[in-house]
Protein backbone atom coordinates (compact mmCIF):
# COMPACT_ATOMS: atom_id res chain seq x y z
CA UNK A 1 0.00 0.00 0.00
CA UNK A 2 1.33 3.43 -0.92
CA UNK A 3 2.17 6.13 1.61
CA UNK A 4 -0.59 8.29 0.09
CA UNK A 5 -3.12 5.54 0.72
CA UNK A 6 -2.19 5.21 4.38
CA UNK A 7 -2.05 8.97 5.13
CA UNK A 8 -4.93 10.41 7.15
CA UNK A 9 -7.24 12.39 4.88
CA UNK A 10 -7.59 16.12 5.40
CA UNK A 11 -10.97 17.50 6.40
CA UNK A 12 -11.83 20.18 3.82
CA UNK A 13 -15.19 21.56 4.95
CA UNK A 14 -13.91 25.04 5.88
CA UNK A 15 -15.15 26.73 2.72
CA UNK A 16 -17.17 29.49 4.40
CA UNK A 17 -17.67 31.34 7.65
CA UNK A 18 -14.06 32.31 8.41
CA UNK A 19 -13.45 32.34 12.20
CA UNK A 20 -17.17 32.28 13.11
CA UNK A 21 -16.64 34.80 15.90
CA UNK A 22 -20.29 35.89 16.11
CA UNK A 23 -21.47 32.28 16.01
CA UNK A 24 -19.00 31.23 18.70
CA UNK A 25 -20.25 33.90 21.10
CA UNK A 26 -23.76 32.44 20.69
CA UNK A 27 -22.76 28.78 20.96
CA UNK A 28 -20.22 28.86 23.80
CA UNK A 29 -22.60 29.94 26.62
CA UNK A 30 -25.09 27.29 25.50
CA UNK A 31 -22.41 24.64 25.91
CA UNK A 32 -21.56 25.76 29.46
CA UNK A 33 -25.25 25.38 30.28
CA UNK A 34 -25.90 22.09 28.47
CA UNK A 35 -22.41 20.44 28.51
CA UNK A 36 -23.48 18.58 25.38
CA UNK A 37 -22.50 19.76 21.92
CA UNK A 38 -25.25 17.78 20.19
CA UNK A 39 -27.84 19.61 22.30
CA UNK A 40 -26.15 22.93 21.51
CA UNK A 41 -26.36 22.22 17.81
CA UNK A 42 -30.03 21.21 18.10
CA UNK A 43 -30.87 24.40 20.00
CA UNK A 44 -29.08 26.58 17.46
CA UNK A 45 -30.79 24.92 14.53
CA UNK A 46 -34.22 24.64 16.16
CA UNK A 47 -34.43 28.32 17.12
CA UNK A 48 -32.33 29.64 14.21
CA UNK A 49 -30.11 31.37 16.76
CA UNK A 50 -27.58 32.25 14.06
CA UNK A 51 -30.32 34.04 12.10
CA UNK A 52 -29.49 32.15 8.93
CA UNK A 53 -31.42 33.01 5.79
CA UNK A 54 -32.11 29.38 4.91
CA UNK A 55 -32.49 26.14 6.83
CA UNK A 56 -29.55 24.61 4.96
CA UNK A 57 -27.17 27.48 5.75
CA UNK A 58 -28.32 27.49 9.38
CA UNK A 59 -27.53 23.78 9.66
CA UNK A 60 -24.17 24.23 7.95
CA UNK A 61 -23.03 27.05 10.22
CA UNK A 62 -24.38 25.34 13.35
CA UNK A 63 -22.49 22.17 12.47
CA UNK A 64 -19.31 24.08 11.72
CA UNK A 65 -19.24 26.22 14.87
CA UNK A 66 -20.02 23.22 17.08
CA UNK A 67 -17.31 21.09 15.47
CA UNK A 68 -14.72 23.83 15.94
CA UNK A 69 -15.63 24.73 19.51
CA UNK A 70 -15.73 21.04 20.44
CA UNK A 71 -11.93 20.89 20.09
CA UNK A 72 -11.57 23.45 22.89
CA UNK A 73 -11.37 22.37 26.53
CA UNK A 74 -14.01 23.58 28.98
CA UNK A 75 -11.64 26.16 30.50
CA UNK A 76 -10.93 27.46 27.00
CA UNK A 77 -14.66 27.82 26.34
CA UNK A 78 -14.98 29.81 29.56
CA UNK A 79 -12.05 31.99 28.51
CA UNK A 80 -13.56 32.45 25.06
CA UNK A 81 -16.70 33.97 26.58
CA UNK A 82 -14.93 36.53 28.75
CA UNK A 83 -12.06 37.18 26.33
CA UNK A 84 -11.26 40.42 24.58
CA UNK A 85 -11.90 40.50 20.85
CA UNK A 86 -8.20 39.89 20.15
CA UNK A 87 -8.00 36.98 22.59
CA UNK A 88 -11.17 35.48 21.12
CA UNK A 89 -9.70 35.70 17.64
CA UNK A 90 -6.57 33.86 18.76
CA UNK A 91 -8.59 31.11 20.47
CA UNK A 92 -10.79 30.61 17.42
CA UNK A 93 -7.73 30.50 15.15
CA UNK A 94 -6.28 27.80 17.41
CA UNK A 95 -9.62 25.94 17.23
CA UNK A 96 -9.57 26.06 13.42
CA UNK A 97 -5.99 24.77 13.41
CA UNK A 98 -6.90 21.89 15.73
CA UNK A 99 -10.03 20.99 13.80
CA UNK A 100 -8.40 21.14 10.38
CA UNK A 101 -4.93 19.64 10.05
CA UNK A 102 -4.43 21.42 6.72
CA UNK A 103 -4.92 24.83 8.37
CA UNK A 104 -2.76 23.88 11.34
CA UNK A 105 0.08 22.70 9.13
CA UNK A 106 -0.15 25.81 6.96
CA UNK A 107 -0.04 27.95 10.11
CA UNK A 108 3.03 26.14 11.44
CA UNK A 109 4.95 25.35 8.27
CA UNK A 110 4.27 28.50 6.27
CA UNK A 111 2.89 31.40 8.35
CA UNK A 112 5.02 30.91 11.46
CA UNK A 113 8.07 29.82 9.46
CA UNK A 114 7.93 32.92 7.25
CA UNK A 115 7.55 35.10 10.33
CA UNK A 116 10.57 33.52 12.04
CA UNK A 117 12.61 33.93 8.84
CA UNK A 118 11.65 37.62 8.80
CA UNK A 119 9.68 37.23 5.59
CA UNK A 120 6.81 39.58 6.34
CA UNK A 121 4.39 38.89 3.50
CA UNK A 122 2.01 36.02 2.78
CA UNK A 123 0.61 35.45 -0.70
CA UNK A 124 -1.97 33.22 -2.33
CA UNK A 125 0.90 31.51 -4.13
CA UNK A 126 2.37 30.55 -0.75
CA UNK A 127 -0.86 28.71 0.01
CA UNK A 128 -1.12 27.13 -3.44
CA UNK A 129 2.49 25.93 -3.27
CA UNK A 130 1.85 24.46 0.19
CA UNK A 131 -1.23 22.59 -1.09
CA UNK A 132 0.64 21.29 -4.15
CA UNK A 133 3.32 19.87 -1.89
CA UNK A 134 0.78 18.23 0.42
CA UNK A 135 -1.07 16.83 -2.60
CA UNK A 136 1.89 14.50 -3.23
CA UNK A 137 0.76 12.53 -0.16
CA UNK A 138 -2.93 13.46 -0.07
CA UNK A 139 -5.04 12.29 -2.99
CA UNK A 140 -8.00 14.35 -1.77
CA UNK A 141 -5.99 17.52 -2.40
CA UNK A 142 -4.82 16.38 -5.81
CA UNK A 143 -8.44 15.84 -6.84
CA UNK A 144 -10.11 19.05 -5.64
CA UNK A 145 -11.50 21.48 -8.18
CA UNK A 146 -9.83 24.85 -8.71
CA UNK A 147 -12.99 26.56 -7.45
CA UNK A 148 -12.82 24.59 -4.20
CA UNK A 149 -9.14 25.41 -3.76
CA UNK A 150 -9.94 29.08 -4.26
CA UNK A 151 -12.66 28.95 -1.58
CA UNK A 152 -10.38 27.15 0.87
CA UNK A 153 -7.56 29.60 0.25
CA UNK A 154 -9.80 32.64 0.49
CA UNK A 155 -11.33 31.45 3.75
CA UNK A 156 -7.96 30.70 5.37
CA UNK A 157 -6.72 34.19 4.52
CA UNK A 158 -9.96 35.67 5.85
CA UNK A 159 -9.49 33.70 9.08
CA UNK A 160 -5.97 35.06 9.44
CA UNK A 161 -7.21 38.60 8.93
CA UNK A 162 -10.10 38.20 11.39
CA UNK A 163 -7.63 36.77 13.93
CA UNK A 164 -5.47 39.89 13.43
CA UNK A 165 -2.57 37.76 12.21
CA UNK A 166 -2.55 39.16 8.67
CA UNK A 167 -3.12 42.69 7.44
CA UNK A 168 -5.32 43.54 4.46
CA UNK A 169 -2.09 44.16 2.53
CA UNK A 170 -1.11 40.57 3.51
CA UNK A 171 1.68 41.43 5.88
CA UNK A 172 2.02 38.90 8.69
CA UNK A 173 1.08 40.53 12.02
CA UNK A 174 2.93 39.20 15.08
CA UNK A 175 0.64 37.64 17.66
CA UNK A 176 0.78 39.43 21.02
CA UNK A 177 -0.64 36.80 23.33
CA UNK A 178 -2.01 37.58 26.77
CA UNK A 179 -0.61 35.33 29.48
CA UNK A 180 -3.92 33.55 29.97
CA UNK A 181 -4.24 32.71 26.27
CA UNK A 182 -0.57 31.75 26.02
CA UNK A 183 -1.05 29.48 29.03
CA UNK A 184 -3.87 27.44 27.48
CA UNK A 185 -1.98 27.19 24.20
CA UNK A 186 1.18 26.00 25.97
CA UNK A 187 -0.84 23.43 27.92
CA UNK A 188 -1.29 21.40 24.74
CA UNK A 189 1.25 18.78 23.62
CA UNK A 190 2.73 19.80 21.29
CA UNK A 191 2.20 23.45 22.18
CA UNK A 192 -0.36 25.31 20.10
CA UNK A 193 1.96 28.30 20.06
CA UNK A 194 3.24 26.69 16.88
CA UNK A 195 0.15 27.98 15.07
CA UNK A 196 1.06 31.62 15.65
CA UNK A 197 3.56 34.12 14.25
CA UNK A 198 5.32 34.74 17.54
CA UNK A 199 8.78 34.45 19.07
CA UNK A 200 7.25 33.04 22.26
CA UNK A 201 8.27 29.53 23.24
CA UNK A 202 7.12 27.07 25.90
CA UNK A 203 8.60 28.97 28.81
CA UNK A 204 7.74 32.49 27.76
CA UNK A 205 4.53 34.47 28.27
CA UNK A 206 3.39 37.77 26.87
CA UNK A 207 1.17 40.71 27.52
CA UNK A 208 -1.79 41.99 25.52
Average pLDDT of each block of 10 consecutive residues along the chain (208 residues)? Answer: 62 90 97 97 95 91 96 98 97 98 98 95 97 96 94 97 98 97 95 94 43
pLDDT of residue 202: 55
What distance in Å separates the CA atoms of residue 44 and residue 35, rounded to the nearest whole number? 14
pLDDT of residue 7: 75
pLDDT of residue 200: 77
pLDDT of residue 17: 85
CATH number, domain 98-199: 1.10.3540.10
Buried-exposed string 6-36: b where 16+ CB fall within 10 A, e elsewhere? eeeebebebeebbbbbebbebbbebbeeeee
pLDDT of residue 122: 98
pTM reported for the whole predicted model = 0.92
Amino acid sequence: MSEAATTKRYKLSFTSGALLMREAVIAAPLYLRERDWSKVRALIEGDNLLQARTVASGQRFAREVVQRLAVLADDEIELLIEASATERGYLLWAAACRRYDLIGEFAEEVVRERFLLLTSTLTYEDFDSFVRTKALWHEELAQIKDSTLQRLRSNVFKMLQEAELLSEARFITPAVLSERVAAVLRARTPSDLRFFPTQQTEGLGGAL
